[in-house]
């Protein structure tokens, strides 16, 4: 390769790698496999070695990919957080061993650890307490995620053992166990949220959530692999890890002391097959020189230590041909492009289809019909295309045209600014959307109508017996019994299970309606703030976004839903059928001091939490409402009441009461 050509290739590789870094570390949505990423990085590294005149300080070969985002405060790492050199070959490992042998004057040992596939974390402990937790960031400084990390049960917040250094840093990997991942994704798919691509992305994404309460509910785990301090207790990595374990840190039992490279290779081979039985994903093995003195002698490159290396396992891949792309319409109208492949056997089953996510993904892969593509099954449920072999592109290849109209109903598709997906706006008549909404409505976490399944919904839909979920409650056994596969008994069962769904509480009915962006949790929150659907229908943008966890996106989706007269008619029919559209207070009120009063709570309080005040209102026979209207009796106001609420109260002449007066009024002072 000549100079100008090399320069052009180097620039292109740099740009591409930067983009993949952003996809992986910031968006947590990688579009190529680790293996392919490493190939690109290797190619760049080789070219830079051949043409050192083109090496720049900011080359991805010299710095680690950054995970930092604007939402968190950043702090410097006391000890830089480096990356690891990696390899997929035994030969490289033997070379690594030879290099170390040359430097070492005495026999030496290795420590082998599993390479956990999650998000790395660096936690500083001061005077026995968890002081600060930082993500890797750019290696020099990282995002402060202390509050989130403190919610992870496996991470001690206080060390009770005596004689630990006054200040030390523990490094490890935050992981999401596969079982937890499967559960969360099942819920996400059900709630029409994009599923996480794999447990690593789910762990990294969770760590960067802004609400520690949600982090706490996500079942994260942490494995530790590195102790750093100015004054370490021992002279070897292994002993330091054992020490950390005795302080209460979760150092995995898999850690192994190896006398030579043969033992290292045996360890690697052992875990290559055993890893499938682990509760979490690993992507390889990390091999570290045990002696800290020898580590120091070996030193560092710009990016990684010379005393450690990662051996990575290749994810199983298969090469096959992309035959065509179909487009699927989901329950909320989302369009997903799906690749139809020449069937290929991969990791235990035949793969015929793979998801392509959206238009961007197709462009990023540079994918054409008839291309030879690599498919991979990671921790994911659906196989995905991770790369294209452009050298195998043949004449029959042609660009993939993203559809402009819905394949089911012909309506022109819409793509909102800032969103990755196209969607079909024909909410009321597009068949998969109609069916999808009914399927969602009857599902376990919604109305739980277990006598009906997808197939029966299909059948009833195709026979024109149902068009929306309100139709379900008007079905009669006589209409169902004559249908194929049903008969009198199933017909009776279906009607029975539809009837028994009438007792499903308000918050689940709200979830069942299938309002865009209103999942299970949001439905619960809404139902506790707007205690009946009539209140919710009246809510404006301000009162909706005044509720914690509800942003403008959810709020406008709720308002759009109720602005649609067809939805209002459906809800009226559901009401007439007897569904629950208001929160039933479990206990009746204990006093009638607030009888007939509708009270809005606003601001921050000294004596009780807002939830406690809500309970007090109910206990004394009052009603708590989220929005101020002409029927509001008064506002229970704490500090920092929102200015717009204040203005509205003044406009409507609604009285404002402070917490002391309120407590006196109800006799709780
Ligand atoms: S040691 C200077 N040990 O792999 C050595 N890293 O590319 C620092 N990782 O971001 C790393 N398991 O998050 C080490 N047993 C292990 C590991 C491990 C996973 C991650 C780590 C780092 C990346 C290195």
Q: Ligand 1 mean position to 92 CA, how many Å?
A: 18
Q: Whose CA is nearest to atom 2 of ligand 1?
A: 82
| Mutational test site, ligand 1, from 173, 203, 287, 302, max ligand atoms within 8 Å of CB | 173
Q: What is the DSSP letter of 628?
A: -
- Reference 346, options 393, 391, 382; nearest CA is 382
Residue whose structure tokens are 């480096």: 82
pLDDT digits (tens, 9 = 90+) for 431-459: 999 999 999 999 988 999 988 888 899 99
Please identify every stretch of the chain with a pLDDT value under 50, giving residue numbers as ranges.
none
**In 214-364, beta strands by DSSP E:** 221-228, 256-258, 282-289, 308-312, 317-329, 335-346, 349-355
- Reference 528, options 428, 597, 601; nearest CA is 601
pLDDT attached to residue 38: 82
Alpha carbon distance 36, 219 (integer Å)? 30
- Reference 407, options 472, 468, 459, 335; nearest CA is 335
Q: Ligand 1 mean position to 43 CA, how many Å?
A: 22
pLDDT attached to residue 378: 62
Q: Whose CA is nearest to atom 9 of ligand 1?
A: 115
Written in H, E and C, the secondary structure of 434-482 is: HHHHHHHHHCCCCCCCCCCCHHHHHHHHHCCCCCCHHHHCCCCHHHHCC
Indicate which atom in ligand 1 lies nearest the CA of residue 86. Answer: 7
Alpha carbon distance 107, 173 (integer Å)? 30
Who contacts 87 (Cβ-Cβ below 8 Å, separation ≥6)? 93, 96, 309, 310, 311, 312
Catalytic site residue from 14, 115, 288, 623: 115
Query: Which SS3 state, helix, strand or coil, does residue 625 take?
Result: strand
Asked whether 173 lines ligand 1 (CB < 6 A), one says yes
CA atoms within 13 A on the CB side of 173: 21
pLDDT digits (tens, 9 = 90+) for 332-347: 899 999 999 999 988 7
| Mutational test site, ligand 1, from 64, 120, 288, max ligand atoms within 8 Å of CB | 120
Contact call for residues 3 and 44 (beta carbons, < 8 A): no
Who contacts 262 (Cβ-Cβ below 8 Å, separation ≥6)? none
Contact call for residues 267 and 112 (beta carbons, < 8 A): yes
Sheet of 655-657: strand order equals: 623-625, 598-602, 634-637, 655-657
pLDDT digits (tens, 9 = 90+) for 360-418: 889 988 899 999 999 987 655 578 898 899 888 888 889 999 999 999 999 999 998 87
Q: Ligand 1 mean position to 25 CA, how many Å?
A: 15
Alpha carbon distance 577, 71 (integer Å)? 47
DSSP string, 30-69: -SS-HHHHHHHHHHHHHHHHH-GGG--TT-TTTSPPP---
Contact call for residues 396 and 419 (beta carbons, < 8 A): no
DSSP string, 546-563: TSTT--HHHHHHHHHHHH
DSSP string, 200-235: HHHHHHHHT-S-HHHHHTT--EEEEEEEE-SS-S-S
Alpha carbon distance 472, 509 (integer Å)? 14
Indicate which atom in ligand 1 lies nearest the CA of residue 173. Answer: 13
Written in H, E and C, the secondary structure of 517-540 is: CCCHHHHHHHHHHCCEHHHHHHCC
pLDDT attached to residue 381: 58
pLDDT attached to residue 395: 81
CA atoms within 13 A on the CB side of 175: 24
| Domains of the chain, start order | 3-62 (1.10.287.610), 74-312 (3.30.470.30), 317-399 (2.40.50.140), 431-503 (1.10.150.20), 506-577 (1.10.150.20), 598-665 (3.40.50.10190)
Q: Ligand 1 mean position to 356 CA, how many Å?
A: 30
Asked whether 226 lines ligand 1 (CB < 6 A), one says yes
pLDDT attached to residue 519: 87
Q: Is 115 a catalytic residue?
A: yes
Alpha carbon distance 9, 7 (integer Å)? 5
Q: Hey, what are 84's tokens?
A: 């690891």
Contact call for residues 400 and 368 (beta carbons, < 8 A): yes
Asked whether 84 lines ligand 1 (CB < 6 A), one says yes
Asked whether 136 lines ligand 1 (CB < 6 A), one says yes
Alpha carbon distance 657, 597 (integer Å)? 13
Query: Which SS3 state, helix, strand or coil, does residue 300 take?
Result: strand
Contact call for residues 373 and 385 (beta carbons, < 8 A): yes
Query: Which SS3 state, helix, strand or coil, does residue 317 take?
Result: strand
pLDDT attached to residue 346: 84
596 sits in the region (left: phi over 0; alpha: psi -120 to 50; else beta) called: left
Contact call for residues 257 and 111 (beta carbons, < 8 A): yes
Alpha carbon distance 213, 147 (integer Å)? 10
* Polymer length in residues for the chain: 669
pLDDT attached to residue 587: 61
Q: Ligand 1 mean position to 115 CA, how many Å?
A: 6
């Amino acid at each position: 390769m000549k100079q100008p050509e090399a320069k052009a290739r180097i620039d292109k590789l740099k740009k591409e790698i930067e983009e993949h870094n952003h996809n992986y570390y910031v968006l947590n949505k990688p579009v190529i496999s680790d293996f392919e990423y490493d190939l690109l990085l290797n190619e760049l590294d080789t070219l830079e070695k051949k043409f050192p005149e083109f090496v720049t300080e900011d080359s991805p070969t010299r710095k680690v990919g950054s995970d930092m985002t604007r939402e968190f405060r950043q702090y410097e790492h006391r000890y830089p957080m480096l990356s690891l050199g990696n390899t997929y070959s035994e030969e490289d490992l033997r070379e690594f061993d030879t290099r170390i042998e040359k430097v070492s004057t005495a026999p030496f040992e290795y420590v082998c650890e599993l390479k956990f596939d999650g998000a790395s974390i660096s936690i500083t402990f001061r005077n026995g307490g968890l002081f600060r937790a930082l993500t890797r960031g750019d290696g020099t400084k990282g995002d402060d995620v202390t509050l989130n990390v403190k919610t992870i049960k496996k991470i001690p917040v206080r060390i009770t053992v005596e004689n630990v250094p006054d200040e030390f840093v523990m490094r490890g990997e935050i992981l999401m166990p596969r079982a937890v991942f499967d559960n969360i994704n099942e819920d996400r798919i059900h709630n029409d949220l994009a599923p996480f691509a794999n447990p690593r992305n789910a762990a990294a994404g969770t760590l960067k959530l802004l609400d520690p309460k949600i982090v706490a509910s996500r079942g994260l785990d942490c494995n530790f692999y590195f102790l750093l301090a100015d004054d370490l207790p021992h002279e070897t990595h292994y002993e330091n890890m054992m020490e950390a374990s005795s302080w209460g840190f979760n150092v995995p039992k898999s850690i192994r002391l190896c006398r030579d490279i043969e033992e290292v290779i045996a360890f690697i081979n052992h875990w290559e097959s055993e890893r499938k039985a682990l509760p979490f994903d690993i992507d390889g093995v990390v091999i570290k020189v045990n002696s800290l003195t020898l580590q120091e002698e070996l030193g560092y490159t710009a990016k990684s230590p010379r005393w450690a290396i990662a051996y990575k396992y290749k994810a199983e891949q298969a090469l096959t041909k992309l035959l065509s792309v179909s487009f699927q319409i989901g329950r909320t109208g989302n369009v997903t492009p799906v690749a139809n492949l020449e069937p290929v056997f991969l990791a235990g089953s035949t793969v015929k289809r793979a998801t392509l996510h959206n238009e961007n993904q197709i462009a990023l892969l540079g994918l054409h019909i008839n291309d030879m593509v690599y498919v991979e099954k990671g921790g994911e449920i659906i196989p995905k295309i991770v790369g294209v072999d452009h050298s195998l592109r043949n004449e029959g290849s042609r660009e993939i045209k993203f559809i402009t109209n819905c394949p089911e109903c012909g309506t022109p598709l819409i793509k909102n600014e800032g969103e990755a997906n196209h969607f079909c706006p024909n909410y009321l008549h597009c068949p998969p959307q109609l069916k999808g909404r009914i399927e969602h409505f009857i599902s376990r976490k919604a109305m739980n109508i277990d006598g009906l399944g997808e197939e029966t919904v299909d059948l009833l839909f195709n026979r024109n017996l149902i068009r929306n979920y309100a139709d379900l409650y008007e079905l009669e056994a006589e209409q169902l019994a004559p249908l194929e596969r049903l008969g009198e008994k199933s017909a009776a069962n279906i009607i029975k299970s539809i009837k028994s769904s009438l007792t499903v509480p308000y918050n689940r009915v709200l979830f069942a309606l299938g309002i865009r962006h209103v999942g299970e949790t949001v439905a619960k929150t809404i139902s506790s703030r707007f205690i009946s659907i009539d209140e919710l229908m009246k809510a404006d943008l301000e009162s909706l976004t005044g509720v914690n966890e509800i942003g403008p996106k959810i709020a406008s989706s709720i308002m759009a839903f109720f602005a649609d007269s067809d939805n209002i008619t459906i809800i009226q029919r559901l009401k007439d059928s007897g569904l629950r559209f208001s929160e039933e207070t479990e206990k009746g009120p204990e006093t009638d001091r607030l009888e007939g009063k509708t009270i809005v709570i606003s601001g921050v309080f000294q004596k009780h939490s807002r939830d406690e005040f809500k309970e007090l209102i109910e206990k004394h026979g009052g009603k708590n409402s989220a929005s101020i209207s002409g029927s509001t009796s008064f506002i229970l106001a704490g500090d920092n009441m929102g200015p717009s609420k204040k203005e509205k109260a003044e406009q409507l002449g609604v009285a404002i009461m402070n917490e002391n007066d309120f407590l006196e009024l109800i006799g709780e002072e």
